[in-house]
């Protein structure tokens, strides 16, 4: 079996559907790559693409997406709820089968160096591809956002590749390698941003909450509502049912009900099965009890 890796780039465009369609076509047109999912949100003004294939093909598709995005997204006019540093905000590479994490780290470094050389864009490496310990966590790199990054580029945010000058239209880019994560949001039946922010602070690991969980509170529109947005860095450490219970209990205590959950991109099969096992109280339930899984083996 040939090696397979996944790439999940986040692009700072979630409103112009024609632009998003065009970027998806760029990915899909790359031989050896399959576009698995695309998710866009106008409030966050952000799109997440998920594609996979053999390592060389995925690397080509990632670079083609960067080229295409820089031609149509200008950060000088960008606004949205989600933190971001650039037109292509983050590009993670994820080993799926027959590929090591070290190989994905090498791909991340090649892609970052290529973007810096071709587009004169500052590049930061994160997660397993980080070149310094303070850049392992994506939120730590992205904290100043596009608007505040320029003044820090000769101090705390000297780029790992490319010039120490913010590109006016493209901004900066973060490239890395990591295990699969789950991007999961919970919308609350309230427009109370402070409640969402308080819940996010209480459940995220960096504030002493759930291990392997990143969380942030946002306000969404049409209709107005608050959202607890999360990244589960390791669902075997903290599961989807666990974060749901923690958010729900805090919302209920504040007299607020949950409207819905939202999955951004894809999730591992075992994470979905954990939800089923808990909901049905199935003891010892694994993927070996799923018909399709047995055939795929």
Catalytic residues: 82
* Distances 128 to 98, 131, 180, 252 between C-alpha atoms, Å: 18, 9, 12, 37
Cis peptide bond prior to 290, omega within 30° of 0: no
Query: H-helix or E-strand containing 48?
Result: strand 46-53
- Coil, strand, or helix at residue 102? helix
On whether the CB atoms of residues 210 and 242 are closer than 8 A, the answer is yes
Return the closest-CA partner of residue 210 out of 192, 194, 233, 191: 233
The stretches of the chain forming alpha helices (DSSP H) are 17-28, 55-72, 101-119, 138-142, 145-149, 193-203, 240-253, 269-280, 291-296
For residues 287 and 269, give the distance between their C-alpha atoms in angstroms, rounded to a whole number. 8
Residue 169 burial (CB count, 10 A): 17
**Cβ contacts of 96 within 8 Å, gap of 6 or more:** 4, 5, 6, 52, 180
* CA distance to 202, 215, 243, per residue, from 209 (Å): 6, 10, 10
Residue whose pair of structure tokens reads 């079996």 in the numeric block: 1
Q: How many CB atoms within 10 Å of residue 206?
A: 12
Cα–Cα distances in angstroms (integers) from residue 205 to residues 45, 140, 152, 248, in the given order: 26, 14, 26, 18
The candidate with the shortest Cα–Cα distance to 83, out of 140, 37, 40, 130, is 140
């Amino acid at each position: 079996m040939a090696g397979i890796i996944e790439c999940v780039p986040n692009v700072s465009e979630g409103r112009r559907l024609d632009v998003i369609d065009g970027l998806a076509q760029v990915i899909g047109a790359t031989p050896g790559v399959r576009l698995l999912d695309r998710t866009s949100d106008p409030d966050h003004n952000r799109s997440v693409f998920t594609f996979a294939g053999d390592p060389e093909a995925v690397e080509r598709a990632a670079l083609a997406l960067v080229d295409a995005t820089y031609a149509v997204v200008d950060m000088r006019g960008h606004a949205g709820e989600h933190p971001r540093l650039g037109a292509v905000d983050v590009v993670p590479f994820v080993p799926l089968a027959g590929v090591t994490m070290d190989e994905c780290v090498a791909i991340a470094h090649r892609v970052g160096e290529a973007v810096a050389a071709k587009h004169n864009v500052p590049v930061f490496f994160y997660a397993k591809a980080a070149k310094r310990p303070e850049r392992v966590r994506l939120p730590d790199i992205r904290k100043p956002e596009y608007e505040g990054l320029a003044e820090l580029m000769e101090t705390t945010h000297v780029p790992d590749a490319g010039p120490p000058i913010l590109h006016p239209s493209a901004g900066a880019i973060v490239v890395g390698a990591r295990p699969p994560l789950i991007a999961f949001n919970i919308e609350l039946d309230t427009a109370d941003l402070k409640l969402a922010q308080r819940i996010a602070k209480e459940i995220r690991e960096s504030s002493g909450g759930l291990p392997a969980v990143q969380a942030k509170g946002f306000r969404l529109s049409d209709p107005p509502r608050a959202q607890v947005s999360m990244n589960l860095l390791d669902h075997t450490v903290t599961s989807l049912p666990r974060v749901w219970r923690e958010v729900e209990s805090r919302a209920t205590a504040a007299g607020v009900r949950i409207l819905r959950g939202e999955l951004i991109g894809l999730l591992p099969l075992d994470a979905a099965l954990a939800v089923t096992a808990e909901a049905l109280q199935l003891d010892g339930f694994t993927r070996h009890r799923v018909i399709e899984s047995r055939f795929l083996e």
